[in-house]
């Protein structure tokens, strides 16, 4: 009997992987933002300028991750 050889090629896989990575980071940012907002509303000590420290740290981290994503998208575009 003869031999049968099948091959396949997936095109665009690196682009899909980058899009999924950005989607995962966006979900992390949203979770950090919502969690930080809940912590700010909890009004728990220690506070900096009337804002709970843990909430402030969460908002800062989510901002930095978002800024990093925007920079990487702009760098990739150029």
Answer yes or no: is 42 within a domain: yes
Query: What is the pLDDT confidence band of residue 78, given thresholds at 50, 70 and 90?
Result: low
Whole domain around residue 40: which residue ranges? 15-77
Rounded Cα distance between 27 and 46, Å, is 27
Let me know if residue 34 belongs to a domain: yes
pLDDT 10s digits, 37-77? 998 888 888 888 888 898 899 999 999 988 988 888 888 77
The pLDDT assigned to 19 comes to 82
**Considering its fold, how many domains does the chain have in total?**
1
For residue 7, tell me if it sits in a domain.
Answer: no
Show contacts of 23-27: CB within 8 Å, 24+ apart. 25/65, 25/69, 26/69
Q: How much is the pTM?
A: 0.67
Q: Could you report the per-residue pLDDT of 6-22, keeping only the tens digit for each?
A: 887 777 777 788 888 88
């Amino acid at each position: 009997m003869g031999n049968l050889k099948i091959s396949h090629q997936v095109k665009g896989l690196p682009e899909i992987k980058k899009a999924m990575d950005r989607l995962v980071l966006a979900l992390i940012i949203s979770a950090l933002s919502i969690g930080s907002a809940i912590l700010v509303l909890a009004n728990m000590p220690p506070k900096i300028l009337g804002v709970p420290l843990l909430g402030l740290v969460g908002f800062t981290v989510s901002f930095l991750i978002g800024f990093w994503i925007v920079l990487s998208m702009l760098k990739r575009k150029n």
